[in-house]
Each structure stands twice: as structure tokens, then as C-alpha cells.
């Protein structure tokens, strides 16, 4: 499984934890809400991101601003929650993640 989403960050809000913000991005009809940890990666409203979700590790990590791996934490009819060791990504509608599969999620900024 490999999916590449081109998303535009629509909103960034303060989170409840120090150094954490919550971003919402749109990729076509899909909404991605995710944690932004200050010391790892930052995004601003209007940024265009390329988000890779794959069940295999990318061969070259250099082009990415952020990469991590994790597992499907929760699934509903209309959403899936991917946990990257506590950094959460909510996909609405679901993208087809499976239980007990390690997923890699990598993000890089792209040109509009």
C-alpha cells in the first residue's frame, strides 16, 4: 500500500501540550488533522504538503522534512487514526489502513 496526498494546510491551532499544535489540511475531498510537534516539524497555514503513507519504508528519506512509523490506532466508518508513537494523524474519510501493519508516514513541503 502506498498513497501520496497533496494537501494544503488550512488551519493551525495551539494544542493542549507545550510545543504541540494541531493542523488541519485538505487533500481534495479528504481532511487530515494532525499533531505538529515544535521541535520535530513545523507547518503554517497555506503550506502545501506532500504526505506519503506506505507499508514499506521509503528507500530515500532525504527529501522529507519528517518521517515516522506507527500503526492504525482506531478506525470508524468515516475516519482512521494513525499513531506514530503518539503523534496522531486523523484521515477523514479513511485511506484503507489495516490493523497490525506498520505504516510509514513522511511529509515534505511541495510547490503549490
Q: What is the pLDDT of residues 47-82, one digit of tens each?
A: 999 999 999 999 999 999 999 999 999 999 999 999
Q: What is the pLDDT of residues 21-56, one digit of tens each?
A: 999 999 999 999 999 998 888 999 999 999 999 999
| Residue 7 and residue 51 in contact, taking contact as beta carbons nearer than 8 Å | yes
d(CA 82, CA 62): 23
The boundaries of the domain holding residue 17 are 2-109
Across 60-90, b (16+ Cβ under 10 Å) vs e yields: eeeebebbbebbbbebeeeebbbbbeebebb
Please state the separation of Cα 18 from the chain's center in Å: 20
CATH number for the domain that contains residue 60: 2.40.50.140
Beta strands in 1-112 (DSSP E): 2-14, 20-27, 30-37, 48-54, 66-76, 79-84, 87-92, 103-109
Q: What is the pTM of this model?
A: 0.94
Total number of domains constituting the chain: 1
Amino acid at each position: 500500500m502506498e498513497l501520496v496526498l497533496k494537501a494544503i494546510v488550512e488551519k493551525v491551532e495551539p494544542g493542549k501540550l507545550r510545543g504541540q499544535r494541531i493542523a488541519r489540511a485538505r487533500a481534495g475531498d479528504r481532511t487530515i488533522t494532525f499533531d505538529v510537534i515544535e521541535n520535530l516539524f513545523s507547518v503554517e497555514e497555506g503550506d502545501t504538503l506532500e504526505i506519503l503513507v506506505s507499508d514499506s519504508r521509503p528507500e530515500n528519506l532525504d527529501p522529507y522534512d519528517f518521517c515516522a512509523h506507527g500503526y492504525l490506532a482506531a478506525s470508524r466508518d468515516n475516519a482512521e487514526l494513525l499513531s506514530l508513537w503518539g503523534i496522531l494523524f486523523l484521515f477523514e474519510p479513511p485511506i484503507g489502513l489495516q490493523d497490525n501493519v506498520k505504516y510509514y508516514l513522511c511529509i515534505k513541503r511541495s510547490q503549490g
